[in-house]
């Protein structure tokens, strides 16, 4: 069992979730249960799946949850793009969120590769 707080990718995903909550707080009221809710769920899902994977036994389960986190990150990428195109996120805010997300996705991909290599070597 690993402590998820020790993983930089979890920390970056957590920061991204906090930023997602902050930026979606300015969305129009009529969107309250739409876009902001989806963005918040997706962003929280990334960090939550990393944390849950750390609590599982074995690298196979850990890798599975990292793959789920990666899927949530791809979904979040679309929701950021949609929010920008609908005018709910300004271009600078979109760049901040998108940049953080790209970093998390790269880190996740690297960690998935490392865990897969460790599984093959073990």
Task: Burial-class residue 32 by CB neighbours within 10 Å (0-12, 13-18, 19+).
Answer: exposed
| Model confidence at 58: pLDDT above 90 | no
Give the model confidence (pLDDT) of 86-119 as tens digits. 999 999 999 999 999 999 999 999 999 999 988 7
pLDDT of residue 118: 84
Q: Where are the domains of the chain?
A: 4-121
| CA trace torsion 83, 87, 91, 95 (10° rounding) | -10
CATH code of domain 4-121: 1.20.1440.60
**How far is residue 79 from each of residues 74, 86, 119, measured CA to CA in Å?**
9, 10, 33
pLDDT of residue 29: 84
- What does the alpha-carbon distance between residue 74 and residue 115 come to, in Å, rounded to a whole number? 20
pLDDT of residue 34: 84
């Amino acid at each position: 069992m690993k402590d998820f707080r020790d993983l930089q990718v979890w920390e970056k995903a957590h920061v991204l979730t906090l930023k997602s909550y902050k930026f979606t707080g300015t969305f129009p009221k009529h969107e309250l249960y739409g876009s902001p809710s989806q963005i918040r769920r997706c962003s929280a899902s990334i960090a939550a799946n990393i944390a849950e994977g750390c609590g599982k036994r074995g690298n196979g389960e850990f890798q599975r949850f990292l793959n789920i986190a990666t899927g949530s990150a791809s979904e979040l990428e679309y929701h950021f793009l949609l929010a920008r195109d609908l005018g709910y996120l300004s271009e600078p805010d979109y760049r901040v969120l998108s940049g953080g997300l790209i970093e998390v996705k790269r880190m996740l991909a690297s960690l998935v590769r490392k865990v897969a290599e460790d599984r093959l070597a073990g």
